[in-house]
Amino acid sequence: MSDKPKIKVATAWLGGCSGCHMSFLDLDERLIELSKLVEFTASPITDVKEIPEVDVGIIEGAVCNEENEHVLRTMRSRCKVLVALGDCAITGNVPALRNPFILEEVMARGFVETESTQVGVVPDPTIVPRLLKRVRPIQEFVQVDVHIPGCPPNADTIWYALTELLAGRAPNWDERTLSYD
């Protein structure tokens, strides 16, 4: 076994569907190979929830609310390389579909007018994080070093990006044909 210290990685999901993390789990047996080189710290798929100082921070999802912004800024301040995983982080994508609507209408639709709701109340922001007026991609808040496109990026795409990063290179999307299967 190598004496080289493992690369520390943290991941977080902001406003997203968790599909990018599920796609990451689709690495399947390659996760075992990865675990020899990488130490996973805070992540929705581990029990560590406080983001420590890490080499690589991976963000899924767009910035939809105040908590998302806080998590993103914390991750940026504690990682050397920040990776935007998936189209929601990169462009806003699906969560940004609410941007043409007035925020109060969005809240009413979600918490009061939904067909299955019997007594609906818009929750207090001390209970549910306050929504931002617009959903925005993460690079509108912090510097992003690497983008992994796709909705979700498939496991092969994630593997390519991670192995390039582990080799000390940025993934070169101009030279790689993305597959979306």
What is the binding site for ligand SF4 (CB under 6 A)?
16-17, 19-20, 60-61, 86-88, 93-94, 151-152
Q: How far is the CB of 102 from ligand SF4 (least distance, A)?
A: 23
Q: Would you say 20 or 165 has its CB closer to ligand SF4?
A: 20
Q: How far is the CB of 16 from ligand SF4 (least distance, A)?
A: 3
How far is Cα 93 from Cα 90, in angstroms, rounded to an integer?
8
Q: Would you say 42 or 148 has its CB closer to ligand SF4?
A: 148
Q: How far is the CB of 109 from ligand SF4 (least distance, A)?
A: 19
Q: Would you say 81 or 94 has its CB closer to ligand SF4?
A: 94
Residues 84, 93: contact at Cβ < 8 Å?
no
Non-local CB neighbours of 165 within 8 Å, separated by 6+ positions: 56, 81, 83, 146, 171
Residues 72, 44: contact at Cβ < 8 Å?
no
φ, ψ of residue 83 in degrees (nearest 5): -110, 130
Q: Would you say 55 or 60 has its CB closer to ligand SF4?
A: 60
Q: How far is the CB of 157 from ligand SF4 (least distance, A)?
A: 12
How far is Cα 69 from Cα 57, in angstroms, rounded to an integer?
15
